Structure 1
Amino acid sequence: MRAVVLPGSGSDDVFVRSVFTEPLRAVGIALQAVAPRHGHDVIEGYRAELDAALDTPGPLLVGGISLGAHVAASWAAKRRTAVGPRLAGLLLALPAWTGPAGDAAAALAARATSAQARTHGVPAAVAAAGAGSPPWLAAELARAWPRYGTGLAAALDAAAAEPAPDAAALRSLAVPAGIAALVDDPVHPLTVAEHWRGVLPRAVLLSAPLALLGADPAVLGRAAVLAWLRAARAGSPGSNRGHPTISP
């Protein structure tokens, strides 16, 4: 089995590997961490990678972090006939909104950073975002954002404009879904993850404190993978209640 996992807005395959490599290896699943395109076509690139995954035989997990979770779930809903029984489940970390982004916190943050990067450049955007962030997050932004170069603003605008799956799309995904959330993340509210858990037919949600992610990014991957395993074992729709907090 292989897991194709998409990064979040302004993030990259390096962070995906730090989150998911160890938890997936522990259950014998190979990780394909998708590298983002660095511009306005970032989402088209993610969809192209998911489509290409269908050319390789065998069961697939698909998922992502934040924007990546949105794109993966929407793709799975639209392509469920083509994927068929090969889709073994979903790994959905930090969903940020449902349906159109509107004034969701993550979309507002992406638009603000895009404006900063366009007006003052990427280094200034990194400095502004890092000033109000925990040290680990500031360091991650300083590593990832410069990789986008002048394409950062366009990539962030594309992310903020991209609808997440709506409730009807989520209801159509009758495969085991592991949702991972952070109990105190203002950009990816726990209430959004709880809504997804309530709408997806076979979903389990596990959560952790934000501080644990800073100490060990794999805590987020462990939550998603363990939740997926529990959803798969439950085996039937309607068994998606509860969101325990996990330990590192």
Structure 2
Amino acid sequence: MPFFQELVLGNFSERPGLIRFENVTMQYRGGQAILEDASFHLAPGSFHFLTGDSGAGKSTLLRLIYLALRPMVGRIEVFGRDARGLRRREIPDVRRRIGVVYQNFRLIEHLSAMDNVALPLRIAGAREQLIREHVPELLEWVGLSGHLDALPRTLSGGQQQRVAIARAVIARPPLLLADEPTGNVDDEIAMRLLYLFEELHKMGTTVLVATHNQALVDRFNHPSLHLSAGLLGAVAPKGGTQSLTAARSSRPAARSRPTRKPGSA
């Protein structure tokens, strides 16, 4: 994928993808813990899966990293900055350094597939010639070469998901958060998408992929964070040892209790 080699917006080495949680707790309104006293960090350039049953709270954890939610208790650090100290006007600047694949895609309905994918580049001030060269190449990689001008409403759910993934990775963000990115595609496309994330990872992007697809996790040799009943644990890759970029919740497993399932993971 040569477009990643050429497409560098700013000094990549100065944009570390570091995430740190310290004793973070998040609860439902009824008091049930989604995340309980969780502490971990993701080192710059690491690749982790985030696993857990549907409804375990994976999407909530990603939203905390993306600064869409604030924890009830604890400290979150994104790119070395304490989220508690960020002013409201500073949050968009942090988010522009994060590529996000949402479960509900969040495509702009009046823009074509190509223009949706090109949006991060245009916001970053990329040259139109570069956009016209690299966006079609990426859409071809995800199997959408014949849909450059298609509006989102004319695409299937799986096709919209691939547009959303292409948009999240096109600007080579220092941090990529993907929420069930293979949920609406077949196995062949799922593998291509994970190889795309691998390519970014090899070039220094910190990657966190939320999934309940254990077959994918087993296929790629990366450590996992596992979320269950509000407790977060670190799982070494198959045949590997735990390096600890991720630490277990400080709460003992004996305190686990069943969680209520929300509308999304």
TM-score range (shorter-chain normalised) is 0.3 to 0.5
Ranked by relative contact order (alpha carbons within 8 Å, sequence separation 6 or more), the top structure is 2
User: What TM-score comes out, normalization by structure 2 length?
Assistant: 0.31
> Between Structure 1 and Structure 2, which shows a larger proportion of strand residues?
2
> Between Structure 1 and Structure 2, which shows a larger proportion of helix residues?
1
